[in-house]
């Protein structure tokens, strides 16, 4: 069975990128690079169960990472509004627009604007990309019922240890960093690598390889960084972090 990254992406309509719990810098850099590269052509979301660290602010798009799954259903909540004051909720379509009508009981006030909150819940994805991590427990969102029918694929420099019984395909390959793999996969799938993506990938490779000092660094690593720099990528040091 061909499980190449290119074919997996081509066959998908909606992609969910999962970053592991307490991720390394390299994991976030790779995940964001894939997110930025894929989101122009596919419906894509990126989720990490733990908050982003300040050091991740060097990465373009870090503000797109959310902690909770949620793009399937819009949830409208009426906070601090007594439910017994409500008569009914209805909707109508007028000129192609949906209007929701909240009608209070006679003698009671309608909800105020400040009482209303909006958020999303549930997720729609037919392809889930697991970035980095050591075992499937690092990805708690995998057990979400909405992902039961999705194809799950792991991208990392080491194979994922499996314990949950969830079927996970592996694209794990030895490399200096997960960011180096992400760069190769984006090129394989012929997705554009702009300057922002290239910068994220370079920064991830440098962090993941500890400044090109690990045994997994090869000539291909330096060739990939050189290619990314030609695409407009820049080296971003910790001292260049935004305020």
pLDDT score of 14: 92
- Measured CA to CA, the distance from residue 77 to residue 119 in angstroms comes to 8
Comparison of pLDDT for 117 and 24, the residue scoring more = 24
Rounded to a whole number of angstroms, the distance between the first and last alpha carbons of the chain is 48
pLDDT score of 119: 66
- Name residue 15's beta-bridge partners: 44, 127
pLDDT band (50, 70, 90) for residue 107: confident
Residue range 36-56, pLDDT digits in tens: 999 988 999 999 999 999 999
Q: What angle do CA 89, 90, 92 make, to 5 degrees?
A: 155
- What class has domain 5-66+123-240? alpha beta
CATH 3.90.1640.10 in the chain, residues? 5-66+123-240
**Which pTM does this prediction carry?**
0.80
Mean of pLDDT values over 119-144:
88
pLDDT score of 185: 97
Residue 211 pLDDT greater than 90, yes or no: yes
């Amino acid at each position: 069975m061909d499980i190449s990254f290119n074919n997996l992406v081509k066959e998908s309509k909606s992609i969910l990128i999962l970053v592991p719990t307490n991720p390394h810098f390299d994991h976030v850099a790779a995940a964001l690079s894939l997110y930025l590269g894929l989101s122009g052509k596919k419906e894509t979301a990126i989720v990490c169960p733990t908050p982003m660290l300040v050091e991740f602010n060097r990465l373009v798009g870090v503000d797109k990472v959310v902690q909770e799954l949620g793009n399937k259903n819009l949830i409208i909540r009426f906070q601090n509004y007594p439910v017994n004051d409500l008569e009914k909720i209805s909707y109508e379509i007028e000129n192609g627009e949906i209007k929701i009508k909240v009608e209070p009981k006679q003698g009671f006030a309608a909800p105020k604007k400040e009482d209303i909150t909006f958020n999303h819940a549930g997720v729609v994805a037919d392809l889930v990309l697991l970035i980095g991590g050591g075992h499937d427990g690092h990805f708690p969102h995998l057990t979400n019922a909405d992902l039961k029918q999705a194809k799950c694929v792991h991208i990392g420099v080491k194979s994922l240890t499996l314990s949950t019984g969830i079927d996970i395909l592996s694209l794990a390959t030895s490399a200096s960093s997960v960011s180096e793999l992400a760069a190769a996969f984006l090129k394989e799938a012929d997705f554009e690598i702009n300057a922002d993506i290239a910068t994220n990938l370079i920064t991830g490779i440098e962090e993941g390889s500890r400044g090109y000092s690990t045994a997994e660094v090869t000539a291909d690593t330096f060739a990939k960084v050189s290619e990314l720099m030609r695409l407009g990528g820049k080296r971003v040091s910790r001292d260049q972090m935004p305020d």
